[in-house]
Amino acid sequence: MIADNTKSPEKTTTGVKGYYALVQYCPDPSRAEAANVGVLLFCPEREFIDVRTAASNQHIARFFGRDSYDADRLRTVKRFIEDRVQVHPSQFKTLEDLNRFIESRANDIIIA
């Protein structure tokens, strides 16, 4: 963001780098088909991290079929990701911290 100093110099805004990652459900990695179930936002300069996931799994059911996933397990995994990020935000100080967390996910949920 570029600061506009013409009206009130004391209220300028500086550019701040932020990152986002999609939270996706991928039941069959060999097919490389995934459906978005959430988004993660990270701004290390502001010490901000948050993740939001879809409240329901209707999109997954329509996209892959109702028999393609365990609804309880998917809800549990989505809540785990939300809890980990929201309850322990101090664990995410740098982009490397976030990447380590993303790389540690080894299930049907992908953070990309």
Cα–Cα distance list, 77 to 24, 44, 46 (Å): 11, 24, 27
Which residue, 111, 25, 33, is CA-closest to 75?
25
CA 37, CA 34: separation in Å to the nearest integer? 9
H/E segment holding residue 40: strand 35-43
The alpha-helical segments, DSSP class H, found in 12-94 are: 58-64, 71-87
Give the model confidence (pLDDT) of 47-56 as tens digits: 999 999 999 9
Q: How do the domains of the chain map onto residue ranges?
A: 15-111
Give the model confidence (pLDDT) of 9-26 as tens digits: 444 456 888 999 999 988
Q: Is the pLDDT higher at 12 or at 98?
A: 98
- Helix-strand-coil split of the chain, %, nearest 5: 45, 20, 35
Single-letter code of the amino acid located at 76: T
